[in-house]
């Protein structure tokens, strides 16, 4: 199951992709990580999906990553007494703490934290941004707004606040229960919604206690203003373009996507591009040309992964959607322009021994035309450092820790192999060559470069480079 592309593919599971046969087809079509959306999944269903994925994983002998995406706070208006209303441009509309049914003049806002945080001049976006209000008077009990962009409004429509820093956690009680259940079930990644500040990620990490890695979803303007801090405490970023495009001008999203991709790469942390990538394939067997271009842009930019949402969870053509992403990735990475772009964006190595060695390994491998870079890694940090370099040659990560292999399934270009740890340096070199031969990364007589930490099994201690020949007897592990 060697992939012919470096960028990874996330596929969301849902009503059309929950059984073993379909998950197997999605993996064969190119899915590297499966996403479980807790907005629509019970704990029992989540555990069932995880068990199914692990069964598929064992049958192929390749680590498969599992991402649980927490719902996050859902801010909504209350109910209207006589059905939907029409908000007209220039009208005054009040959102207040009264639980009385709403009408054309007012509605209940069941979130006191919003009323307390709103300021005069703040925008309020209702129903995914279709209706826009501006606050003219605020108090802890009510907000008087002017309708800037009117429209139809009905019960329980969502509220977005692009200008307001809300004094609330990124996790609700439901999220905390979901997170604990997911960690107990053995997932690999947690996607944290509604992130506004680094403290939101730190709170999740305290609950997780090292049982999974945290991917911060960037979907709030407040997070954009604190990207450096959030990236510093996160294990990865997800560019959640859907909600980001509601709360910010749409024309800013492409540049923010590029900025976040490059920031994450500089930090050596995975970045996933998400939302509406092949949206038309929910109902069509082929995507639009614009969607193909959108996916290709993420590949050209050197993102670690691209993600399917409803396309694989509820669409008519889930396997075709994954296959299409797979083909786009392969085609872009064959383009000579791709290598030019990725090389031009290569960051300078950090002033650490591990980063310097990873950079040197990439340069040596390309200068000597070696067949692969083989990383022995316990924690995954060696493979992450090498992947940050975006080398021309394949990257193979050998780890004794299956959980590390599963996490690395989200990382650009890393082919993961779970194997018993090396006994000594000679065993490490010998088995690296045999694994490279077995998995088709090197032929007999070709050379590979091996990167590791010595003493073996020491997390984060990347300090050794070896060049080795793949011998004629290196045929089995």
Catalytic residues: 35, 76, 217, 275
Integer Cα distance of 52 and 333 in angstroms: 32
Q: How many CA atoms lie within 13 A of 405 on its CB side?
A: 20
Q: Are 223 and 196 contacting, i.e. CB atoms less than 8 angstroms apart?
A: yes
Q: Are 305 and 270 contacting, i.e. CB atoms less than 8 angstroms apart?
A: yes
- Which pair of tokens denotes residue 22? 């379909």
Closest CA to 318 of 1, 5, 21, 3: 21
Non-local CB neighbours of 342 within 8 Å, separated by 6+ positions: 300, 302, 390
Radius of gyration of the chain (CA): 24
Q: Which ranges in 335-376 belong to alpha helices (H)?
A: 336-344, 353-367
Exposed / middle / buried, residue 449 (Cβ in 10 Å: 0-12, 13-18, 19+):
buried
Task: Give the bridge partners for 466, in sequence order.
Answer: 450
CA dihedral 191, 382, 299, 188 (to 10 degrees): -20
Integer Cα distance of 145 and 147 in angstroms: 7
Integer Cα distance of 265 and 274 in angstroms: 17
Element containing residue 164 per DSSP (H, E): none
Exposed / middle / buried, residue 426 (Cβ in 10 Å: 0-12, 13-18, 19+):
exposed
- Which pair of tokens denotes residue 357? 């060695």
Q: Check whether the bond before 24 is cis (ω within 30° of 0).
A: no
Please state, in angstroms and as integers, the Cα–Cα distance from residue 122 to each residue in 93, 119, 125, 161, 380, following that order.
Answer: 14, 6, 10, 8, 44
Closest CA to 414 of 439, 445, 446, 443: 439
Q: Are 80 and 154 contacting, i.e. CB atoms less than 8 angstroms apart?
A: yes
């Amino acid at each position: 199951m060697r992939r012919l592309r470096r960028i990874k593919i996330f596929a969301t599971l849902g009503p059309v992709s929950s059984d073993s046969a379909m998950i197997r087809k999605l993996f064969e079509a190119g899915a590297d990580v499966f996403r479980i959306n807790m907005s629509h999944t019970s704990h029992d269903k989540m555990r069932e999906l995880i068990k199914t994925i692990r069964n598929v994983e064992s049958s192929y002998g390749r680590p498969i990553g599992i991402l649980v995406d927490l719902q996050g706070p859902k801010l909504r208006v209350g109910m209207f007494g006589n059905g939907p209303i029409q908000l007209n441009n220039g009208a005054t509309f009040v959102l207040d703490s009264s639980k009385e049914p709403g009408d054309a003049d007012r509605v209940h806002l069941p979130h006191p934290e919003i009323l307390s945080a709103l300021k005069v001049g703040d925008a309020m976006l209702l129903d995914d941004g279709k209706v826009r209000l501006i606050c003219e008077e605020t108090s802890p009990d009510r907000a008087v707004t002017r309708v800037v962009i009117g429209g139809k409004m009905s019960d329980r429509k969502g509220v977005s606040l692009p200008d307001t820093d809300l004094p609330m956690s990124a996790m609700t009680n439901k999220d905390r229960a979901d997170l604990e259940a997911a960690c107990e079930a053995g997932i690999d990644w947690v996607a944290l919604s509604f992130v506004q500040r680094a403290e939101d990620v730190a709170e999740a990490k305290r609950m997780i206690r090292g049982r999974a890695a945290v991917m911060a979803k960037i979907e709030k303007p407040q997070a954009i203003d604190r990207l450096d801090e959030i990236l510093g405490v996160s294990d990865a970023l997800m560019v959640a373009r859907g909600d980001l495009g509601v709360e910010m001008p749409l024309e800013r999203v492409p540049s923010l996507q590029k900025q976040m991709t490059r920031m994450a790469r500089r930090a050596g942390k995975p970045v996933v591009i998400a939302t509406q990538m092949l949206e038309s394939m929910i109902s069509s067997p082929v995507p639009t040309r614009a969607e193909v271009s959108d996916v290709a842009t993420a590949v050209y930019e050197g993102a670690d992964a691209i993600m399917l949402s409803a396309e694989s969870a509820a669409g008519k053509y889930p396997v075709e959607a994954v296959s299409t992403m797979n083909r786009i990735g392969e085609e872009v990475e064959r383009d000579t322009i791709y290598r030019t772009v990725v090389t031009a964006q290569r960051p300078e190595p950090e002033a650490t021994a591990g980063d310097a060695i990873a950079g040197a390994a990439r340069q040596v491998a390309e200068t000597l035309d070696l067949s692969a870079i083989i990383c022995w890694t316990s924690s995954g940090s060696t493979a992450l450092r090498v992947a940050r370099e975006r080398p021309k040659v394949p990257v193979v990560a050998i780890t004794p820790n299956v959980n590390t292999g599963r996490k690395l399934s989200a990382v650009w270009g890393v082919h993961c192999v779970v194997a018993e740890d090396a006994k000594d340096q000679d065993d490490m070199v010998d088995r690296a060559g045999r694994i490279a031969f077995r998995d088709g990364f090197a032929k007999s007589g070709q050379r590979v470069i091996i990167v590791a930490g010595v003493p073996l099994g020491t997390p984060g201690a990347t300090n050794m480079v070896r060049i080795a020949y793949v011998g004629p007897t290196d045929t089995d592990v």
